[in-house]
Structure 1
Amino acid sequence: MDMPTTPTPDASNDRPAAQRSAVKPARGPARGASTMGAIHRSLRAEIVEMRRNPGEPIVEKHIAEAFGVSRTPVREAVLRLADEGLIEIFPQVGTFVARIPVNALPEAIVIRTSLEGTAVRYAAQRATGSQIAGLRANLLLQQETVEDGDLNAFHEADERFHALIAEIAGYPGLWSMAQQVKVQVDRYRRLTLPEPGRLTNVLAEHAAIVDAIADADPALAADRMAVHLDGLLTSIPQAQGANLFFFTGP
């Protein structure tokens, strides 16, 4: 494994974790496994949402101070994140947020497309009027976040949109499986959201999917889902070129 390039110094990295808004200490006197779980969820969200950039140091002491705990649960959370490929540990060097493995992205996107293609086919066959109304309400929420320029809120509404399709299909587990394989894709995708016109295009693709579901056309719904997710494949080179240090691989 290549040694990480020393990240460019940043003022936010010099501050203790207790002073960083990204770290959200657990409330109350949680201890043991619950404390480790809270730390894991907090760090994982920060990494996946790109609030901790690839290559950024992970300082266990600062995190422990922020949560008011010993370093033991912090270490356990870090090891778990390392198993998930989100953190890299270099003995005698340090612990860092892992860079995004560009070679793993295409396969993850293909798997997600297969899972969601199945879900949207069933959704088009089974959707009720009220369920279609629920999808359209979600589209309105997405539109509001686009108008507000709120990337985090848009991402949350986007995730809910895809979860709704799996629920309407009657197979919510398909979305759960997709979530497991798309962790690195989510990190990369965060880099694409600020691109001019990106949110508007995604919203239009979502609307086209809903129209196909409303028309009870499984084949068209699956085709539109594939087109929607294929955009993630075609955008990889551009995102990598604009953020070279954030990625590993050619």
Structure 2
Amino acid sequence: MESSVKKVATTDDEGGLAPATSRRAAVPAATVRPPRRAATVASRIYRDLRGEIVSLKRKPGDAIAEKQIAETYGVSRTPVREAVLKLADEGLIEIFPQSGTFVARIPLDGLPEAFAIRKALEEATVRYAAARATRSQIAALRANLELQKEKQEAADFVGFHQADEAFHALVAEIAGYPGFWTLIQQTKVQIDRYRLLTLPVLGRVAEVIAEHTAIVDAIAANDPAAAANALDEHLDDLQISVADIRRDYPRYFTAPGDPV
């Protein structure tokens, strides 16, 4: 008995016979994707490496051993390389073909622009937040301030940084524009590394909490102008210490003209 699926001859563009094909169409090459597990592993490695670099667990100048990372995750070097290349595109990893792969140093010439972008976007969020905040949202901000104080008392600088991030994300959420914080996070990655170096400085965490408190008070008073001013003072204060931090950690930074 013949199969119900028959081969059909067709003509090509020049009138000749084209190869017979079955009724089951071939999968277009463009739709072929790498295995889902490989993509997931690469994403996990990227996320973990990025977190370690931003938190300074991996410090500027540290070598990135792709083979060792692959062994740690029990994978080939392919997903590791994918993650490394993505981090290189973000300026967090430097690849030197004849020397190796290293955690990138913090580029001093990139900080001013990152500060400017963050300031412009966050001024908008605090203004909107001050105009719209409800009592429960203000209570959530004050609860976050208490969390910051707890991290201060424990001298948990990484935990304090995470609470600080949550504070600014909450302001954007209250403003009604959480996407602003997503944009800010994409531009301030170098600021985050620099900022973590400032937290152990005596009195710095207390200053940050006081600055955050001023922002919350202005939002609670439904005063957009005061909220924007408090935010400006908060961000401007962070920029002032760049020269001092560079002096304390000279090998963590790079500037135009520095040797590679």
TM-score interval w.r.t. the shorter chain?
A: 0.7 to 0.9
Amino acid at match of 1:104: G
Distance 2:239 2:118 in 1: 12
Correspondent of 1:173 among 171, 179, 185: 179
Partner of residue 12, structure 1 = none
Q: TM-score, normalised by structure 2?
A: 0.84
Select the structure with the greater relative contact order (CA < 8 A; seq sep ≥ 6): 1
Distance 2:98 2:186 in 1: 31
Partner of residue 17, structure 1 = none
In structure 1, stretches of 5+ residues that fail to align are 1-29
Q: CA deviation at 1:31?
A: 2.9
Correspondent of 1:80 among 86, 105, 109: 86
The 4+ residue runs of structure 1 with deviation greater than 6 A are none
Secondary structure of the corresponding residue to residue 162 of structure 1: helix
Q: How does 1:122-137 map to 2 (within 5 A)?
A: 122-137=128-143
Q: CA deviation at 1:153?
A: 1.0
Secondary structure of the corresponding residue to residue 91 of structure 2: coil
Q: CA deviation at 1:240?
A: 0.7
Partner of residue 52, structure 2 = 46
Distance 1:46 1:176 in 2: 19
Correspondent of 1:63 among 52, 55, 69: 69
Amino acid at match of 1:86: L
CA-atom RMSD, angstroms?
A: 0.9
Aligned residues: 221
Correspondence 1:227 to 2:233? yes
Q: CA deviation at 1:102?
A: 0.6
Bigger Rg over Cα:
2
In structure 2, stretches of 5+ residues that fail to align are 1-35
Q: Assess if the C-alpha contact under 8 Å between 1:109 and 1:232 holds in 2.
A: no
Q: CA deviation at 1:110?
A: 1.1
Distance 1:43 1:153 in 2: 18
Distance 1:34 1:154 in 2: 29
Amino acid at match of 2:241: S
Correspondent of 2:124 among 108, 111, 118: 118
> Percentage identity across aligned positions?
62
Q: CA deviation at 1:232?
A: 1.8
Secondary structure of the corresponding residue to residue 59 of structure 2: coil
Q: Assess if the C-alpha contact under 8 Å between 1:126 and 1:169 holds in 2.
A: yes
Secondary structure of the corresponding residue to residue 56 of structure 2: coil
